[in-house]
Amino acid sequence: MITLHRARWLFDAPTLERLRYIEKGGIVIEKGRILGRGSFNELRRKFPKARTIDHGENSVITPGFVDCHIHAPQMEMMGAAGFSLLEWLENHTFPTEQKYVKAAYAKARWKEFCQNLLRCGTTYAAIYSTSHTKATDLLLEACREAGLRAHVGKALMDQNAPQALLQDADSALIELEELINKWADETKVRPSITVRFAPTSTPELLRGAGKLHEKYPDLIIQTHLGETTDEIAWVKELFPHSQNYATVYAENGLVNHRSLLAHCIYLNEEETRLLHDQRSHLIHCPSSNFFLGSGLFPYQKMRHAALSIAMGSDVGAGWDLSMQTTARCCYEAQALQKYFCKPAELLHLITRAGAVAMGGSRSLGLLEEGFKADFVVHDLSEREVVRLRAERSDSPEDLLSALLFLGGETTVVETHVDGRRCYKKNR
């Protein structure tokens, strides 16, 4: 069956500088792929047999949002305030994550998590589970069930956390490999190699994780790097023989083109060069950085150094699942450093840049012929000020800006992954 979706506006951003838009546009979908994009009338003529779905005069279609760093067990503790990173982990995060030892508890929370990602228009995410293997398996299952595209990581930890979250390196890696094999035939949801961060890892765990990546090189690697100055000082104490924080990972085969490195606020020149040369991806998580007071990501500097940058909500340090909120916080973090992102740049960062970072460069993140049909339908009239603001916008770019800044979960009305509608707002 061929379907033609009509929207008042279509937006996507192939590069940081380039915004594409079509007024009264459409996308044609068959078997989960985009067959065509263009003006609705032309598509109607070209595909006369297509079933038409008209999303109305206040509708906007964008590519699905891509979240390159989020912790599923932390949705239930978003906004738990009062601490900077290390104290926050100890007081809020680790106690919460321990609850996921119970499979029934995890299963119920994962279902809520996946539904709420879709409600915000996220179609593709790199997700941390807890350290529990069973919970991680259930999270993969929940993502598949919900229709999400996802990389899901068992959070490897074998020191410096409560005993209930630790697992010795050998058995953790054996269980992870079993999970990798169990999910080997799936392409849409995949396990990832996820070292929580250096302080909760022994050298044995880091080495074993790197070896596992050598064996399964197309899996993504997730970890945290250079988030706060306290964390960096702790890493220096724990790994006195490593030249710097990034090297702790690199020495173990964990820094390459499959690595998603969250935060990267405090990198020195050597680390920056290393990540550039290894074609690793820096995942900017500004709402988290504000919440924990971690610092301001030097986006402009990293961009000029030609590093790959994508975005993450980093829930629960980030306090909203919406990648539109993440984009707003990115804007603010950069404005404080006297750099003002354009709407195209923000849209690119939360769609195409994430897809490229996670390896879907040929088929994800744009409303483009041949691409997978991952998209969001927004309705400007779902929030009065958005509708009013859009009515008075003086250009398509300005209208997108209004939607990015004033819209969000409230204005997302449908989320489609692989051409399948996975979420529809009750209206």
Which range touches Fe ion (CB under 5 A), out of 156-164, 259-267, 291-299, 377-385? 259-267
Closest Cα partner for 194 from 109, 260, 275?
Answer: 260
Which positions from 184 to 213 touch ligand GUN by CB under 6 A, shown as an x/- string? ------------xx----------------
Smallest distance from the beta carbon of 209 to ligand GUN, in angstroms?
15
User: Quick one: what does residue 404 bind among ligand GUN, Fe ion, none, with the CB cut-off 5 to 8 Å set by partner type?
Assistant: none
3 and 28 Cβ atoms separated by less than 8 Å: yes
Nearer to Fe ion among residue 36 and residue 312 (C-beta): 312
User: How many residues make up the chain in this entry?
Assistant: 427
Half-sphere exposure of 331 (CA within 13 A, CB side): 18
Name every residue whose Cβ is closer than 8 Å to that of residue 213 and which is 6 or more positions away in sequence: 193, 219, 221, 253, 254, 256, 258
Which range touches ligand GUN (CB under 6 A), out of 55-63, 85-93, 131-139, 397-405? 85-93
Residue 314 as a binder of Fe ion (CB under 5 A): the answer is yes
User: Quick one: what does residue 287 bind among Fe ion, ligand GUN, none, with the CB cut-off 5 to 8 Å set by partner type?
Assistant: none
DSSP E strands in 129-215: the ranges are 149-156, 189-195
Burial of 394 (0-12, 13-18, 19+ CB in 10 A): exposed
User: Quick one: what does residue 227 bind among Fe ion, ligand GUN, none, with the CB cut-off 5 to 8 Å set by partner type?
Assistant: ligand GUN
User: Quick one: what does residue 307 bind among Fe ion, ligand GUN, none, with the CB cut-off 5 to 8 Å set by partner type?
Assistant: none
Closest Cα partner for 350 from 318, 389, 379?
Answer: 318
Helix (H) / strand (E) containing 275: helix 269-277
Residue 320 as a binder of Fe ion (CB under 5 A): the answer is no
User: Quick one: what does residue 223 bind among Fe ion, ligand GUN, none, with the CB cut-off 5 to 8 Å set by partner type?
Assistant: none
Round to whole Å and give the CA distance between 418 and 380.
Answer: 24
75 and 316 Cβ atoms separated by less than 8 Å: yes
For ligand GUN, the binding residue among 5, 20, 37, 71 (CB under 6 A) is: 71
Smallest distance from the beta carbon of 220 to ligand GUN, in angstroms?
17
Which residue is nearest to Fe ion, using beta carbons? 314
Site residues (CB under 6 A) for ligand GUN? Answer: 71, 85, 89, 93, 196-197, 224, 227, 288, 314, 317
Site residues (CB under 5 A) for Fe ion? Answer: 262, 314
